[in-house]
Structures are given as C-alpha cells and as structure tokens.
Amino acid sequence: MFIKSLKIENFKGYHGENNSLQFNIPDGNTEGSGLNIFVGENNSGKSTIFEIMDFIKDGTKKNIEDLLSKSVPDDIPEHLSAEIIFTGNLSEIIAAHVQGNKVASFNSHIYDDNGIQCFRVKRSSSEVGEKRILFWNGTDFTNPSGIDAPFKKFYDNNFIWADTNPNNEAKFGSTTICGSLLKEIALGHVDTEEYKEFSAMFQDVFNNPDSQLRRKLSTVEQQVKQIFSEQFGHADISFLFEELQVENFFKTISIMVDDGVNVPMGEKGHGMQRALALSLLQVYAEIACNAHGAGISKPFYLFIDEPEICLHPSGQQKLLDALMIISKSKQIFVTTHSPFLLSSPHLKNVGLFIFKKDNNKSYIERADTSPLFAWSPSWGEISYKAYNLATVDLHNELYGALQDKSEKFFENKFEQWLVSQGLNQSKKWVREKKGVAQQPNDVTLQTFIRNHIHHPENETMRTNLYNKSELEQSISEMIRLL
C-alpha cells in the first residue's frame, strides 16, 4: 500500500485549496521509483508536508491554531484539511493489519480507479473535528464508528527530523528503522520450531498456574481480590500475560559501538550516530528487498528531513545509494539541500519536487514537468529552479545542449548561429597561444563566459571577468533559445 497523492487546504504556508502532489510509487524493480525528494529554500514548505502526514495519521496531538494558514493576514481561513489517497494491495493490508471487527468498515470504502484499488481519507478542522479521521464513500466523507484507533495502527510513519538527536534513529520502536529492520526478520521466524518452543516456555512460566512465578502472583491476586470485594463488591481478579509478541523484545535492545571505547551509541558523536543510522538503512534495504513471502508487512513510510546533517560528502552519496535500493519496494520522502544527494546521475526515476514561496504562500511543482535536458534533472538545473541560483554547471549544460541543437560544434560556427538567433557579440575574448595574447575577437556573452569557465589558465583575461548578473543573463537567454 502506497501514498498516491496528497491534497492540502489552508495548512500553514499552503493557502487555499489548490495545493496537491502526486507522489512516486515503487514498482518493485526500479531503483528510485519510490523515492520522493523535496528541494527548495528554507521556509518554502518542505517539512510542512511531513507535518501534514503526521497530522493525518494522528491529529489529536496537534493544535489547529498553530497549523492554520496565516499567509494572507487579511484572509485567515476558518478551517484546514488534508487528504491522502492510498493505493496498492489494500484488501490484503486491511485483512492483515486491521482488527477483525473493523475490516468490513475499511473494505467498504475501497473504490476502483481505472482498475486500481484506492482508499481516500481526510482530516479536517471543520468536519466532525480534527480528532476524527474521515473516509471517502464515493459521495462524501464520513467517520464510521470506531475506526479512529484502528486507522492509527493501519500503517507506520517513521520521521527522522533535522533537529532530532540521531540516537533516536537507532531505537527499536515499532516505527523506527531498527524496529522495522528486526520486524522483517521476525516475520519469517515466528513459525520456526525454535520460536515455538520459546513461546511455549513463555506461556509455561507466565500463565501456567503451577509455575513458581504464577504462584507468587497468585498471592498478589488474592490480596487485590479481597480488598476489592470488601470495598466494591465480589469479583475475580487475575493477571493475564497476553500472547507473546516478538517485537516487544526489541525495545530493550541497546546498540554498543566500540571504536576503541565500547559505549552505547548515544554517547558517540552525532557524526558517528548518523553513520550508524546509514549502515542500518543499507542493511534494511537489503533485507527488505529479499523478504518476499515472509508475510504481509505493515505499510511503512520513511520521512527523512535533511539527511545530510552530520554526514560527510561520501556518506551522503552512500546514503542516496541505500535510499535508491530501499525505494524499489518502500516509499521514501526526503527533504534536502545537498548537492551530493542531488548531483547523482541516478535521479532520473525519482520524484523530484521544487518548493517555492511567493507572497508568503508555498507552491510546489514537479521538476519533471518542464525538464531542460534529456538527462534532467541535473544539479545545475535544480539549483536554478529551486533556489534561483545561476551556476557555471548549468551554463555549461545549456551551452552544450544548444551546440547539439544547432549542430554547430566549432566556436566560430556556433557564434554565427547564436547571432542568427538574435544574440549580440557584445564581448571581446583574447586567446593565448603558449602564453602569448592574440588579437581580440568579438563574442557573445555566452561564449565569453564559457571560455572563462573552460580556460582558467588564460592570464590575459583574468582582469576582464564576468559578474553574477551577466551569468544570470546568459543563462536566461540560453534557456529561451533552448
């Protein structure tokens, strides 16, 4: 089960109701197919998407006033809402992870969209209340009786926030990387003879009335029963240890790191803690991709806010490699500013979203809706679209792309083509041969900058450089031509 889309209305910077995203969904085979990367300036609304996902799953811990859009002071809305459409093997997931008496309520809200099962939910501050989840029934949203608690357990969100202590990433709760890692192992182990023997021994120690522990507990039960009966009326009191859940044992695990000093992970520096989290991710990637047939895992969505924090460049690149593998079968959402995560040639299959802010309102567009190149997205292109940052990387790409488009690969021929397209030869470039300056040539701004980039050894031109505004102008003119 995967998140197909998100619709936002009046949530923080997202003013109005025309805010939506269509996410990448894993195809099971292609690296990056389930990876969704959010790029944009600070305060442009990237992390807000994570908050919205958390709000939909459990709105009870949120203060609506803190979440309501205040982007337009003269038009502060009265309510907010957020909708998610899930898709995939919904019937199987519901059967495996929804309590039996609520399965019918969930299944009755599955609908068909061109042969694909979909399930649409909404949380709103105006309809029924933010403390209730609403299911789409084909006509409107309703809150079937008793489905709020089962919905919270329906799937897992794992958030790794930029301001979170990395030590938290290696804890073994049910919604953490480590917890999910060990759950993958446990799912395939519960049917082994070893585990069955262990489970039987657990029952014998904790629930067998003849065990030493139960005899001691029986004394406490009788004491409680006596006091209760004297004060409140007769009743039998007993302690029941429920069926053994293997994942509960993982919560007591500690990770020890010995790099010369053997201490718990939390006592190491943040850089090492992040490095360990990276290692866990890579192991999880391998196990998750080879755990087919071990049972129907609960849907697990990984949200990582600025993973580059505390990771050196090669660590960031390895992290991307791990995320690419995991995203073949799992859905991952990442916010980042890192060129080491965004300059990879492997982003072709990734969902890349550009976040911008205009007049205090957040806007989102997919980078692949208007790619500049056949090899898009590139780091230069991303920087230009997301940060309005003109770079020599993008200038090089544009210059080469136009040479390919014009089929003019020699400078003189290409200059003639640029002039024929309306550009002026407003600059002079002086070549050097063996350190000797030649006669100046009239060139376009594009070739002037390109030659500076490619020939930093030219001493004659070092006193005649281009500036930031000229780089921006040259890039803008080439984008128009492209």
Coil, strand, or helix at residue 202? helix
Evaluate whether 224 touches 237 at the Cβ level (below 8 Å). Answer: yes
Structure tokens at 61: 């811990």
Specify the 3-state DSSP secondary structure of 188. coil
E strand residue ranges, 286-422: 300-305, 331-335, 351-358, 361-366
Q: Could you give phi then psi for residue 436, rounded to 5 degrees?
A: -105, 125
* Long-range residue pairs from 41-44, CB within 8 A, at least 24 positions apart, any chain: 41/355, 41/356, 41/357, 41/386, 41/387, 43/13, 43/357, 44/13, 44/355, 44/356, 44/357, 44/362
Please name every residue paired with 39 in a beta bridge, in sequence order, or none if there are none: 354
Q: What is the pLDDT of residues 161-174, one digit of tens each?
A: 776 555 555 555 55
Question: How far is residue 386's CA from residue 138's CA, in Å, rounded to a whole number?
Answer: 37
> 111 and 35 in contact (C-beta within 8 Å)?
no
Whole-model pTM: value is 0.79
Pair of tokens at residue 19: 């805010």
Q: Pinpoint the alpha helices (H) of 424-467.
A: 445-454
Whether 49 and 350 have beta carbons less than 8 Å apart is answered as no
Strands 262-264 and 256-258 turn out to be antiparallel
Give CA torsion, residues 407, 408, 409, 413, to 10 deg. 170
pLDDT tens string for the chain (482 positions)? 999 999 999 999 999 988 999 999 999 999 999 999 999 999 999 999 999 999 999 887 778 888 999 988 888 888 999 999 999 999 999 998 899 999 999 999 999 998 899 999 999 987 666 678 999 999 999 999 999 999 998 988 877 777 655 555 555 555 566 666 666 667 667 778 988 898 889 889 988 989 999 899 999 989 988 888 888 888 888 888 877 676 666 666 777 888 888 877 777 776 677 667 666 666 665 665 555 444 577 788 888 888 888 778 888 888 888 889 889 988 999 999 999 888 877 788 899 999 999 988 999 999 877 889 988 889 999 999 999 999 999 999 999 999 999 999 999 999 999 999 999 999 999 999 988 999 999 999 999 999 999 999 999 999 999 999 999 999 999 999 99
- 59 within 8 A of 83, measured Cβ to Cβ: no
Residues in contact with 298: Cβ distance below 8 Å, sequence separation at least 6, in sequence order: 93, 96, 97, 154, 155, 156
Helices (H) and strands (E) in the chain, counts: 17, 17
- Indicate the SS3 state at residue 43: coil
Q: Which fold has domain 2-176+295-374?
A: Rossmann fold (3.40.50)
**Cβ–Cβ under 8 Å, residues 303 and 331:** no
Domain limits, the chain: 2-176+295-374, 193-245, 392-481
203-248 tens-digit pLDDT: 899 889 899 998 999 999 899 888 888 888 888 888 888 776 766 6
